[in-house]
Structure 1
Amino acid sequence: MCGYGKLQADIEIKSPATKFHEMLCKRPYHVTNASRDKVQGCELHKGEWGQVGSIICWNYFHDGKAKVAKQEVEAVDADENLVVLRMIEGDLLKDHKNFKFTIQATPKGSGSVVHWTLEYEKLHKDIPESYNMLEFVVGMSKDIDAHLTEGK
């Protein structure tokens, strides 16, 4: 058995859950403005922004290297501010058989809590757990929050 992994993190943010979800789901190309040091590009390769079955390609900087991720939007629930992205190509699949990101923003007080779940299957047991990718998405979430709350 190669090893399945599941990592989760909650990030309290000042932004409304709907705004955070909208940026990640319907306007992910704006993440390049919010988190420029981490994300350099986001392009739609198939479908429509925020629609199940759409294909998104990301250019990002992680672990000191420029990397690429191609993801399919697997699920969207606007009422629950939830989106699920499944890796179909890219650097993460060099070490993993599969990799999935689930992002849900839940209202809390005047802000919200963003819950990230990373689920993956490693190609072999010597591959480390993806804590550095979890740190990456937590940092990106904080950057998005700062961008969304600018000028408030």
Structure 2
Amino acid sequence: MSLVGKVEADVEIKAAPEKFHELFSSRPHHISNVSPGKIQGCALHEGDWGKEGTVVFWDYVHDGKAKVAKEIIESIDEKNNSITFKVIEGDLLEEYKNIKITIQATAKGEGSVVHWTMEYEKLHENIPEPNTLLQFVLDLSKDLDSHLITQA
């Protein structure tokens, strides 16, 4: 059984891909206002919003428990509405040696498809794949979409 893996899923939203991408790349600190039941806060620890190399700190609730994650923005692709975060500290590293999350929004009809990818290496074989975390971000995407489509 491999310790290295990848989970991925798509969620369709009504918002434009650029709007969804911009929320994660340049305004992640607004996400807690939009979905306070899932994200309690997002703080800038190093760098500037919207820039590669920026370090952000998330407070969130996953599986009913308060958790934290410190992530570095590894890459931002404005043309393809893609951003990649690498977890560098926090609760996820209690189960995973490393975990990288890529979010890409692509136009589809009047809205978008948001593709979430989580690449990870588990600390040992008894650690489950991060499927509940994947469902968490899919649900978060729907919360963010509801907010974005009400914004002019």
Q: TM-score, normalised by structure 1?
A: 0.97
Q: Which amino acid aligns with 2:108?
A: K
Query: Is the 8 Å Cα contact of residues 15 and 148 (structure 1) preserved in structure 2?
Result: yes
Provide the residue aligned with 2:63 in structure 1: 63
Count of residue pairs brought into register by the alignment: 152
Aligned partners of 1:2 and 1:124 also within 8 Å = no
Q: List aligned pairs for 1:1-152, cutoff 5 A.
A: 3-150=3-150
- 1:64 is displaced (CA, Å) by 1.2
Structure 1 CA distance, aligned partners of 2:18 and 2:57?
23
Q: Distance in 2 between matches of 1:2 and 1:47?
A: 35
What TM-score do the two structures reach when normalised by structure 2?
Answer: 0.97
Runs of 4+ aligned structure 1 residues displaced above 4 Å come to none
Corresponding residue SS for 1:33: helix
Which amino acid is the alignment partner of residue 108 of structure 1?
A: K
CA offset digits 1:83-131 (Å, max 9, x no partner) = 0000000000000000000000001111110000001000000001110
CA-to-partner distance for each residue in 1:124-145, whole Å, 9 max, x for gaps? 0000111000000000000000
Letter aligned with residue 34 of structure 1 = V
Structure 1 residues 28, 125: closer, same or farther in 2, change over 3 A?
A: same
Q: Deviations over 1:62-90 (max 9, x none)?
A: 11110000000000000110000000000
RMSD: 1.1
Once residues 139 and 72 of structure 2 are traced to their aligned partners in structure 1, the CA distance between those partners, rounded to angstroms, is 22
Q: Distance in 1 between matches of 2:134 and 2:90?
A: 17
Could you tell me which runs of 5 or more consecutive residues in structure 1 were left unpaired when the two chains were aligned.
Answer: none
* Structure 1 residues 97 and 2, CA gap change in structure 2 (3 angstroms): farther
* Post-superposition offset of 1:2: 5.8
Query: How much identity, in percent, do the aligned residues show?
Result: 54
Task: Tell me how far apart the structure 2 counterparts of residues 2 and 127 of structure 1 sit (CA, whole Å).
Answer: 11
